[in-house]
Amino acid sequence: MLHFRNLGLVGDMFLSGLFSARTLVLLNGMPNTSTRQKHGRRTRRRRRADPARNELVSSSLESAQQCLFNQDYGTAFAHYLLVLNLAPVFKDFARESFRFTLFKWAEELDSLGRIQYLFDCYEQALELFPDDEVILNSMGEHLFRMGFRDEAAGYFHKALKMRPDYPEARENFYRVANWLVERWHFFMLNDHGRNQKYQQAIQKAVQKGCNTVLDIGTGTGILGMCAKKAGAAEVYACELSKTMYELACEVVSANGMDGSIKILHMKSLEMEVPKDIPHRVSLVVTETVDAGLFGEGIIESLIHAWHHLLLPPKRGENEFGEQSATGRVIPAGATVFGMAVECSEIRRHHRLCVTKVGGLSMAAAGELHSPVSCSSEPDDSMEPYTTERLSRLPGGYKPLTEPFTALNIDFNNVQELEGLSSREVQEIRLPVIQQGELDALAVWFQLHLDEENSLSTGPQEDTCWEQAIYPFHSAKGFVLKPRDELIVEVSCRDAYLRLCSVAVLRDGHKISLDKLMDSQYPVSNPNPEAELCSALACLQTDQSQARDFCMLECSEIALLNNQDYHQSFCTVLAKLISQLKVKCQNQERGSAFQPGPAVATRCASPFYVLDVSEGFSLLSLIAASQGHVKAFSSVEKKKQQEVLKRLARSNSVSEQHLEFWLNNTEDEQGMLQRPSREKLWSAIILDCVETCGLIRQKLMEKASLARCLLEEGGRIFPGKIVVYGMLVESETLLLESAVQGQEPTLGFNIAPFINQFTVPVHVFLDFSTLECRHLSESVELFVLNLMDANANYINREVKVQATSTGRITAIPFWYHIYLDEEISVSTLGQAAHWKQAAVVLQQPLEVRAGEWVRLAVKLHKSTISILAHIESTPQQME
């Protein structure tokens, strides 16, 4: 948690000698150094004419301006604080300069690493200007950069409340809203089936005498309100997220229940009786479950609740209708299911599936893992699963076994909950039903709310739930066959369902798939040559392959598997290098008559290429492998640098030709610099589209900086990006973006509050599997020219003709990334590691086939916004 120490600024200034002796004497009487209680008295006194004070104010104001002029921001800031605290009348006059001083001073503090102090300054600034949207927004930006997203979002939200048309705060808010109020909240509130089942179960329990209720992880407050409405006498709720807690307070109060539901901003594990709630409750309701059931800590929360917050569990039958003296939990329990699947989409995100990338052999890459633990041992840094909605995966999936029950758990039995982690490993044998590559185990569950009501999160259900995916890294390319039997062992050691071992029984032999390394591959590799290469590469590297493992993000692994992308770079780099060589030789020839060392050495020295891709990238190595190139990689992580070095060695790229750029530069801001005093870059590779489908922030700024660092004839890759979009009707996108409809949710007024967190741009979409109707052809929305800033516009009008009648609800968009005039990469293809984004219209727009739609497309910084209107002069198709 972030800790804001209040003040301390003046003392710090004193110590660092920023104040003159005269100022110091006077500072002792400054309001900032005294406590709040005294504040009122001083204010009153200040109203009387006080010549000494006036003199101090005016001289200090003068000093502030002088210091500002001299770029001594720390002192200027202190003077401004003094002036504005003593003479608030100057606030309007000095606001702009004060902000400027604060931002400059914060920049300095930031580069000095004095972070706590930086936040102290912002706190003091906000005491003076509590409603200043620019300061609020800037505070949010600092918090965001430090990783305090929840807090950052609070500031962006407040800045926006102060000035709803403030574009900087809006853009920032949209970027964080997804973290604050995750999109599934919208889904869940739009899922009427789920809402009604919970409501029924709660109503029944309350009617049966559960009169005191605790809602753990209340979110918007909905389950707590259900309990109150059902007649519970006392309702408590707790929520650990600050934003969600504040939202719940707003919602509960808007529904007239603020006096009757006590909401606590804390984790249930920290709650105590009677400190937080006066006595034990007879009902706990909760939906703190994730796609893998256990990821939100429900087991630990319920064990704690049974020991500290709930009445003892029921032994016999309860007296119907009487106040319950026992406790119970909704949901009453759960059943976890699993199924082995083949799925190429999962495969390409979790393991390297190619042997050659951009002309490089990958044999010596070592073990590349996605950050999903395959191990049965608990590892804090890695979850044992990721989540996907199987029904939405491009290319689909193939079940290799029938679904099986992995686990049953009774939430009303504390011994069982406690025993879960010491339960013995369970061996499950599963007949294989069809041939396929063993890529993952998919896991889902049924939540038994009570005897009658249950919810399922299975892949076949029409719900918003995703499934938990346990990818198999180790069973590389193992093909299961119909008469095989799959043997999996599951445990629940750290209250996560974990796979302990996987084996196959084939023709009476048990083949363990856990320890399958490349070298002991039992099923023949389709490419024996690659196998030989791999073995040789192992000999070349002095470590054993088993130790050479490195973790990569799923999107980084998918990128490595994207051969098109790398081949395109390979081609354009080769083209550029040969052009530059020719140019150089021509120049050399041209200057042959003027002998001198300059030109000759220029041609002999290699071409410099810089790859500023984010995360793991092979492009520098691909550049270096062109020959006559010295390439710089921006890969930062040591393990990942080792992978690149290993690959360089095994692909005969000498060590001098590949360097790590960030080892040379001190900070990230210095990333775009010239290679050395006497050199410029021949090529700079920019990473322009984020995996989520948005243009990278500050891309255009980076491009214009990069252009200045290029030698004559040098290039930026890509040179140009073309944005394409399409009109679609998609109910799913609406359900994911806001609580829909005019009907109150279960009779409660929730939508207007949570819908404040609606974001107009959706990210991480898979356009190929998005449930939607296409209402137009794809259309070019925008061109971003990275080689020529003058060619760019920020507003553009595009006309699109509707090809079908329908409701335009969204405009998904994607990119063609032009590396040069001829070669481009699309972010849409099946092999791409990118997802797509979509603008969801505020109001759906009815359109008839043949009508023209006018799109006002706008690019602010790197955020695209689109407004759509029906063209008033219809040019019908018929």
Binding site for ligand 44T (CB under 6 A): 184, 187-188, 216-217, 219, 238-241, 244, 267-269, 287-291, 296-297, 301, 464-466
Taking the least distance from each CB to ligand 44T, the nearer of 290 and 484 is 290
Q: How far is the CB of 184 from ligand 44T (least distance, A)?
A: 4
- Which tokens is 416 given? 């069982």
CB nearer ligand 44T, residue 122 or residue 445 = 445
Task: State the nearest-atom distance from the C-beta of 642 to ligand 44T, in Å.
Answer: 35
213 with 191: CB under 8 angstroms?
A: no
> Which residue, 83 or 188, is less far from ligand 44T as judged by CB?
188
Residue whose CB is less far from ligand 44T, 288 or 571? 288
Beta carbon nearer to ligand 44T, 294 or 465: 465
DSSP per-residue letters across 112-144: HT-HHHHHHHHHHHHHH-TT-HHHHHHHHHHHH
The closest of 818, 786, 776 to 572, measured between CA atoms, is 818
**Residue 238 or 624: which CB sits closer to ligand 44T?**
238
Residue 304 CB, nearest approach to ligand 44T (Å): 8
Question: What is the dihedral sign for C-alpha 293, 294, 297, 302?
Answer: positive
- To ligand 44T, the closest distance from the beta carbon of 268 in angstroms equals 4
User: Which residue, 300 or 642, is less far from ligand 44T as judged by CB?
Assistant: 300
- SS3 call for 707: helix
Q: Residue 145: exposed, middle, or buried by beta-carbon count in 10 A (0-12, 13-18, 19+)?
A: exposed
CB of 419 to ligand 44T, least distance (A): 21
Nearer to ligand 44T, 30 or 244 (CB): 244
Longest dimension (CA), the chain: 110
**Cβ–Cβ under 8 Å, residues 76 and 67:** yes
**Residue 537 CB, nearest approach to ligand 44T (Å):** 40
| CA within 13 Å, CB half, 555 | 12
Q: Report how far residue 858's alpha carbon sits from residue 855's, in angstroms, rounded to the nearest whole number.
A: 9
Strand order in 629-633's β-sheet?
A: 658-660, 629-633, 607-611, 681-685, 710-717
By beta carbon distance, the residue nearest ligand 44T is: 217
The 10 Å CB-count burial string (b at 16+, else e) for 459-469 is beeebbbbbbb
- Give, as one character, the DSSP assignment of residue 696: P
User: How near is the Cβ of 115 to ligand 44T at its closest, in Å?
Assistant: 26
Closer residue to ligand 44T (CB): 102 or 214: 214
Nearest distance from residue 466's CB to ligand 44T, in Å?
5
Choice between 187 and 616, CB closer to ligand 44T: 187
* CB of 692 or CB of 710, closer to ligand 44T: 692
The CA distance from 877 to 605, in Å, is 61
Separation of alpha carbons 851 and 869, rounded Å: 11
Minimum distance between the CB of residue 351 and ligand 44T, rounded to whole angstroms? 24
User: Are the beta carbons of 394 and 576 closer than 8 angstroms?
Assistant: no
Closest C-alpha among 476, 478, 442, 431 to residue 292: 442
CB of 447 to ligand 44T, least distance (A): 11
> CA-CA distances (angstroms) from residue 792 to 683, 684, 716, 771, 866?
21, 20, 16, 34, 17
Contact 335, 448 (CB under 8 A): yes
Least distance from C-beta 235 to ligand 44T, angstroms?
A: 15
